Chains A and B, each alone.
Chain A
Amino acid sequence: MSQVNRLPHGGRIDRSKPLRFVFDGRAYDGYQGDTLASALLANGIVLVGRSFKYHRPRGILSAGAEEPNALIQLGQGARSEPNIRATQIELYDGLIAESQNRWPSLTTDFGAVNSLFHRVFPSGFYYKTFMWPKSFWMKYEHFIRRMAGLGKCPTEPDPDRYDKLHAHADALIVGAGPAGLAAALAAGRAGARVILVDEQQEMGGSLLSDRHAAIDGKPGAQWVADALAELRSMPEVTLLPRTVAFAYYDHNLVSLMERVTDHLSPTSPEALSQPRQRLWRVRAKDVILATGAIERPMVYADNDRPGCMLASAAQTYVNRYGAAPGKRAVIMANNDSAYQVALDLVDAGVSVAAIVDVRESADGELAAAARARGIDILVNHAIVSVAGKLAVREVEVRRMAGDGKSVTSDGRTISCDMVLSSGGWQPSVHLFSQSRGKLTWNQDILAFVPDRLLPGQNNHSVGAARGVFSLSGCLVDGHAAGTAAATAAGYTQSAGNTPVANAQPAHGPMRALWLVSSTAPLGHKAKHFIDYQNDVTAADVALAHREGYRSVEHLKRYTTMGMATDQGKTSNVNALAMMADLRGISVPEVGTTTFRPPYTPVTIGAFSGIDKGDFLDPIRKTPLHSWHEQHGAPFETVGQWHRAWYYPKPGETMHDAVNREVKAVRTSVGIVDASTLGKIDIQGPDAAWFLNMVYTNAWTKLEPGRCRYGLMLGEDGMVMDDGVTSRITENHFHMTTTTGGAARVMAWLEDWLQCEWPDKKVYLTSVTEQWAVLGISGPMARKLLSEVAPDMALDDQSFPHLSFRDGVVAGVKCRVYRITFTGEATYEINMAPSYAMHVWRALMQAGEKYGITPYGTEAMHVLRAEKGFIIVGQETDGTTTPQDLGMDWIVSKQKPDFLGKRSLQRADTKRPDRKHLVGLLTEDPNEVLPEGAQIVAELKDKPPMEMVGHVTSSYYSPNCGRSIAMALVRNGRNRMGETLHLPYEGKVVKAKVTEPKFYDPEGARING
């Protein structure tokens, strides 16, 4: 039979649009406007899942974001998604859903055996059981991992796309119930930029489930429709339904997640043409929190049986979805709101067997109306048991003893198929709390309400979100907050009148009854669930209390209460209040947990948006990138740069290619793209003074036109960067830095200028990308350059090593530096990047007769290692001084000060036996040591052995005809000639300590 519990009329579903869906392999019918939960209920399905720990059969508890039970595996294949709340899944045609955490089926689940052994799964079970013996932990973990978790993650990549953006508003209004709508109307009319979000598909909040409300003389639903039409006509108002505000950060930054196509069949053209979800980051001048309130379930025996539901949820299913959660209800409550539920149910033709009121009397307007309708009202009574494993069958009610802590023998059983409970309402203070606002306890409504705002945040909680539950109170609150937000943002147009609500029945006082007693002692025969999703019971809270875990933070971690995906929306206050009772103190004395993002789970894909694959991290490309690509070069990542690594010819291995490139530079000429080098333009009368301070050597006497190598230290005296700096004119320098260090050095230098030396006249400008750099290096470099730059004088007299000249190369204005990183005669040709490709091609063409060879970063590294030139970050690791590198020659003894100088005087930095940079030559010349290999002086047959250093650079050098390596070795300079051992990969390699110079140690080749 189809939709057995669908009411014959009523609700906001579209009965002209029937939909078909599949749950656990069976097809059902629903309507457009249904949620999966309302459609299942309409079909008489109350069992929808199994609980996390005990595999208890579970039904639908709520009608909203707070749902702890009805967690569904939605969709199939790559689009399958676990743990989605059935109460928030909008039905579409062809929807496929499955229940979770059951095997082989929902009605017969072997895991339910856990429930029989609940005594061996108490709170703190993991900590108590699995911690010993220690060596077994890995085995336990394997077992736990298999048992834990509810749904299943898809194994294929996510086929959907996601969007993310930034937005700004004068007022961000969260929640489009009566308070939120009133706020949006006021702010919007005044002219403010408004973003109004609501997590549901339809805006209107409680008004969508309320049959009695009227505003400004119109039925509630009509007022909602008119308000939305007016808001849609305002160009500065953005309406975002299906959007949850899930996180509230510093300075009023709020993150929203918009479900763009989740309500559509995922393979429909409409869904495929849009991103699936959209992440909004909203910076709002004011945030109006109209987030409403969440009803609390009462904590009674076996309150998790399918058919046990929040009273207001049943009202929503009946009024909004035209779906009855059952045929015959028993309602238990400690307040008056449940009476309205009873009246609505009866009006809709659903029978209400009894209202079990835990209060000592029920004399309000609503109770009188219920009595008048013939509903049986049992005051000072409690439900003490619920019968029916897979669905509620009957309840037993007893009169309570005077203090409410026990029950009398006076009672009876009542047959029913639903138990609706209302333990009062907790304002949704999640976002307020995330904004770091402080909460306070309101004893009248038995709930936490917003109290003090953190300075720097600006938000206003309105309506039920601050404990104002009356409709007219919500409208007044919302209108005032919307008006205030617009006024504060400088908008002066009229916000219109405050909407006026019709008269609503008054509500009487509540009774605080946090645990409904049963006939058996707590923890025996029945379970009183507090946290449904994590299977935490009242007995667990009592156990935590007995074992001393009494503060809220201990209680939470010990029992895992409030830690599931629902973040304890229905359970936190009940647990806190029960702990307060056990300790004999008030609820606020126990404290409250801190609410953290996200309010509801957010898809990871929404955070990345399109920034995945190539967009995950930008790739910086040089002006010659496409040439390198066309010539087959693989790229090496240096920072965000991609640098050509080597240029393999057909059939060549990397080793072959690098050897060929290295040899070509030593025998003829090589060409390299060095454009990525960091470059800083330094101008000002104090520029030379500045260089004297940031480098270890002397700069004042450098002549214009000349270049000098410099080493930069941190304040700790450790090598931080290096490079060649040239003096352009008296007060104008051009600094180069390492590729990876460019941004850091620039920031470091600016920091010193702006914060420490503000009186010094120096200006810095990054010019890294103003200049492309092509290096030609080798014995034929000068000859080659002379052919493409016929007007430049290149002899050693006119253009000596460590100088630069301006000139025309291949018809292009260039600045050519004679500096070397290979030890060969080298010209670093700097030019505008837009001409780099032209000059490169001209050099390749002119150099063809010399066998000009493009070389990549790998050959560059081998070439410099042959010469013993360091790379900062490779030979250094932040604990390396110039002396450690054997570069004391570059540290001025005359200068009164430079950055790092004082640290070099520390006893530890002056120690003679620090780790020194040395060369290592392996006994077997073909053995290339792995970089990072550890070095031992005293070899033992097995670890532990004392390690005296590590290999920093290691290559095969075709020019030396053997492997070469550099290493940092303790007391290394005093070990020259000594043989050290490198145990790795099951063998021990012997290597001799040498000077870290392997080729042309006299530097004779520098002039070609």
Chain B
Amino acid sequence: MVETYQRRSALAHLGLVARAAGSSRERAGIIMSEVPHRTIVNIRGMASDPAFSSAVQTATGLPLPEAANAVSSAGVWQILWLGPNEWWITGPDGEADSLIEALRANFAGQHAAACDVSESRAIIRLKGPKARDVLMRGVSLDLHPRAFRVGQCAQTGLSRANALLHLVDDAPTFEIYVLKSFSDYLWRWLETVARDFGLAVEA
């Protein structure tokens, strides 16, 4: 197989590693970085069907979140609620094939689907005390810590792209999943907004 160094992340053309080296994180209100590769498996099924949720739990070790915008997580694995019958299972790079195989085996006889979408999304990480100030310029959802809590996710419009926001911790750190084709636009848009709040880039 081809060497991994020949693999390019969605934002590789922006030279973020070099920029990070010259970027001071001291006093930065916002730290932006790209999370280069991550397994994302889209699953569809009926949450009301115990066979389905136990199939998912068996394959991932994680409970299937049933509440809207909830995330269940353990270590490097998460299940993000996308809709009443749709979730993402996210985890370390390169696990999609084996995960899908396990899921499909467990789904036998059910109406359920698993589909690899790992490569379709870029992930932009936005971290720092001013992260909400940046996002509220493009997101109409209420991001107040009481309204959008750590460990929640939401699919929404972010400026003029569709994105999924996942609030990872109370730094706060947001992971923003966006279609790769929009990632260049979204990175530049976020960066432009973030400059007013003190921006640093992290590798």
* Residues of chain A having any CB pair with chain B under 8 Å: 163-168, 193, 275, 281, 283, 609-611, 614-615, 617-623, 625-626, 641, 676, 681, 683-685, 761, 763, 765-771, 808, 810-813, 832-838
Contacts and interface: CB of A to CB of B under 8 A. Distances in A.
B120 A834 contact: no
| Interchain residue pairs A-B with the least CB separation, the first 9 | A811-B2, A620-B181, A769-B120, A683-B113, A763-B113, A763-B44, A168-B142, A618-B185, A761-B111
Contact of A283 (B37, B140, B160): B140
Interface residues of B, number: 45
B192 interface: yes
B1 A838 contact: no
Contacts of B182: 618, 620
A615 B159 contact: yes
Given A615-B159, A767-B115, A836-B8, 15 more contacts: A165-B137, A166-B140, A614-B185, A615-B160, A684-B111, A765-B42, A765-B115, A765-B117, A769-B121, A769-B180, A769-B181, A808-B1, A810-B2, A813-B1, A835-B8
A834 B120 CA distance: 9
Contacts of A832: 118-119
Contacts of B159: 611, 615, 618
Contact of A835 (B2, B136, B192): B2
Contact of B8 (A618, A808, A811, A834): A834
B167 interface: no
Contacts of A812: 1-2
Contacts of A163: 137, 196
A275 to B, nearest CB: 8
B161 interface: yes
Interface string B1-38: 11100111110010000000000000000000000010
10 contacts: A166-B136, A615-B188, A615-B189, A618-B185, A684-B113, A769-B121, A770-B116, A833-B10, A834-B7, A838-B8
Contacts of A610: 189, 192-193
A676 B161 CA distance: 16
Interface string B156-198: 0001110000000000000000011110111011001100100
Nearest to A687: B113
Nearest to B182: A618
Given A769-B120, A770-B119, A168 B144 contact: yes
B120 A770 contact: yes
Contacts of B42: 765
A641 B182 CA distance: 9
B67 interface: no
Contact of A623 (B8, B37, B44, B140): B8
A167 B136 contact: yes
A617 B160 contact: yes
Contacts of B76: none
B98 to A, nearest CB: 14
A618 B160 contact: yes
A332 B25 CA distance: 66
B180 A765 contact: no
B63 to A, nearest CB: 21
A283 B142 contact: yes
B111 A626 contact: no
A767 B147 contact: no
B139 interface: yes
Nearest to A813: B1
Contacts of B147: 168
A834 B119 contact: yes
Contacts of A622: 181
B44 A765 contact: yes
B37 A834 contact: yes
A13 to B, nearest CB: 32
A163 B195 CA distance: 13
Nearest to A620: B181
Q: From A163, A618, A676, A837, name the one whose CB has the most chain B CB atoms within 10 angstroms.
A: A618
A65 B120 CA distance: 51
Contacts of A164: 137
